[in-house]
Structure 1
């Protein structure tokens, strides 16, 4: 005798990457999914929007080979991952050609070979970096929950810290090292630098983010009976006998995959303690600046910018991307400022001015085509609540606050920072938890 699936009718509130992940997972399990989102487009904080004839992502995103759930989800909905990304082993290379380059192959030998070959770093710093990495690995990549990254690395030479740990910390956790959780960073290092071969590979989008998940996922869902309700901001969730009501409509279960702010609003009545924990989360901003320079081509699609001083101002951007080499936008470059609270306070004008000085210092005399006068600003986007502040001992809300209701999002309790992989994985875990219940 056949039995109906445990989730006959499921509401997913929020069509970001966590919500899309949950919706696909539930559809595969046999549920009929209704997907709500207050926006008109799916994708949440990682989607594309038009700008001067281009589809620019809402911030430049980097994926890595260790994003197993994200890549599997893309393949599930029909995305050709090999064609969708520019892939290479990890390379954090500055405009002067210096930096860490990892070879391919098994993770530990690749890391050792990469660090030993990092000739710009003093021998003492290279050996200390390898020694610290070995200790972290032998310790199971664990440390006290109240340690900051700065405390974890207090005996590491400053040269090694500035060249590798600090940029990895701000890129992965979007939180300055003095404030960032050492335990979460160690988890990232374990998954990326010391996981399966290829885990540290850089995957840079060759297509707008909309084409890499939100659009194909919606097509996949609708072709299998999923219902898409854009422009619908859910106003009320109410538990019933054996299920939930979403704005008065009956469902067997609900996945909340909206922002933490929206989730706290919706659960303020049904789960006040959970809502209070969620509302207490602090956030870190990211600023992305898109520039144009006709005829300019960088040495490689992604470059790391050291935190070097410029006259009167520190250097804002940590990473930059040549979108022309990625086939996205000719003569266009995206500069990313993570952990950008200081620059949000300074304002757009000062930020762009400091960025111009940073690029002049980085490229003048190194790229023959570089001319200050040819640089123009295409647009600046500030995401003030880009990620939660990933601080030591942070209390993050549970993903299963009430029977028949799960929460998916990069902010829910888990070992990872606020990344696309964290969001996608949380969507999968939300459905698995509902099915097990």
Structure 2
């Protein structure tokens, strides 16, 4: 029988909420987890199975070796990251298999070798990126907080920006380089490329997102006595009359963790902490659109390839699910920073994405590719712009917030969400 004396409500079962609930249980607290959706996972979740048994995700997500908090959490709930993630050295390859490949070894040496192995670049282009990277290191990956990524890298040749800077920026921040925060971009580069061996490795899911954390975490929480309220939206959060904590829809708790979306947290705290609520409600957002394409006997040059986007080519990345050990002939094409395409409508986006897929895929089945699912996550991430003011983790006494949007060094990523819990335990 549990000897826990502190009762904790965690509102939201995305990756931050699951991290908070697990940490609270490990701290010997009595945990109740609320989630308004019918499944856990938040903005990194699996969808209901499609006809034929295809289990797709709400978007194609990747992790990197620097996601130490996320990998630790997966292990704590019984998931072996090596079994569910394909670990490969960072490679930004195009559909012909040409591009940046980081070899193993010391990160600085590996990055330098990768740049100088770009034989399709001129000497000037390789020198320019090497010089820029050295300057960022000398400045300890810091810059004027008002700079955008485009301004930070304006001196680089156009091909370097198009093949390296822009894809890395939109993949990490989901914000176009001309609007993205250079400060956050440099922090991501530091932790990914220069933090240590393996930090830059790509970790690409080989299983649906639900199997990476949400479902194992719910099973772990249930085994450890947590109460799960899935499919229950919290309507009211109020201070207890005895001053000893909070009530969640009338039920008393000693402490509460708001791990729901920023907009939900703003709604629940409007009367409790008006200034904090206003800050949480003030975010701009960027969408991500993912198109799942089927093409039997087709392939990509690598499990993940970077694509040249254009007026009729919306996707920046494509993933070969067959090469990842999942469904052969299934491919995910990802449109980050997708606001212009969402504005055009899903029919136009789907048609352009399918045409792009047929042009990019290799093999006899490429011409017969079909679009089986188009998923638009319209508030996929907050818009990571210079000078962005993010609300603090502390909302009020015994009331905290967890999520990728709370004040911290990272953009809206899985790792940012999981790390937001660290200050609480």
User: Shorter-chain TM-score: what band?
Assistant: over 0.9
Contact 2:286 2:339 in 1 (8 A): yes
Contact 1:285 1:382 in 2 (8 A): yes
Q: 399, 410, 418: which one pairs with 1:405?
A: 399
1:280 offset after TM fit, Å?
Answer: 1.0
CA distance in 1, matches of 2:357, 2:109: 34
1:86-165 equivalences in 2 (<5 Å): 86-165=86-165
Can you list the C-alpha shifts for 1:132-175, whole angstroms capped at 9, x where unaligned? 11111111111111110011111111111111010000000000
What's the secondary structure of 1:146's corresponding residue? coil
Contact 2:296 2:365 in 1 (8 A): no
1:18-57 equivalences in 2 (<5 Å): 18-49=16-47, 50-52=49-51, 53-57=53-57
CA distance in 2, matches of 1:371, 1:297: 8
Query: What 5-or-longer segments of structure 2 have no aligned partner?
Result: none
What's the secondary structure of 2:394's corresponding residue? coil
CA distance in 2, matches of 1:149, 1:300: 27
CA distance in 2, matches of 1:336, 1:284: 13
- How many residues were matched structurally? 419
Q: 290, 313, 316: which one pairs with 1:315?
A: 313
1:196 offset after TM fit, Å?
Answer: 1.2
CA distance in 2, matches of 1:426, 1:254: 15
Can you list the C-alpha shifts for 1:259-318, whole angstroms capped at 9, x where unaligned? 1110000000000111111111100000000010011122321111123x4xxx342100
1:23-422 equivalences in 2 (<5 Å): 23-49=21-47, 50-52=49-51, 53-240=53-240, 241-307=243-309, 309=310, 313-363=311-361, 367-372=362-367, 374-422=368-416
> When the two structures are superposed, what TM-score results if normalisation uses the length of structure 2?
0.96
Contact 1:20 1:427 in 2 (8 A): no
Contact 2:293 2:354 in 1 (8 A): no
Superposition misfits of 4+ residues, deviation over 6 angstroms: none
CA distance in 1, matches of 2:302, 2:158: 27
Query: What 5-or-longer segments of structure 1 have no aligned partner?
Result: 433-437
Partner of 1:435: none
CA distance in 1, matches of 2:218, 2:277: 29
1:91 offset after TM fit, Å?
Answer: 0.6
Contact 1:289 1:381 in 2 (8 A): yes
CA distance in 1, matches of 2:308, 2:87: 23
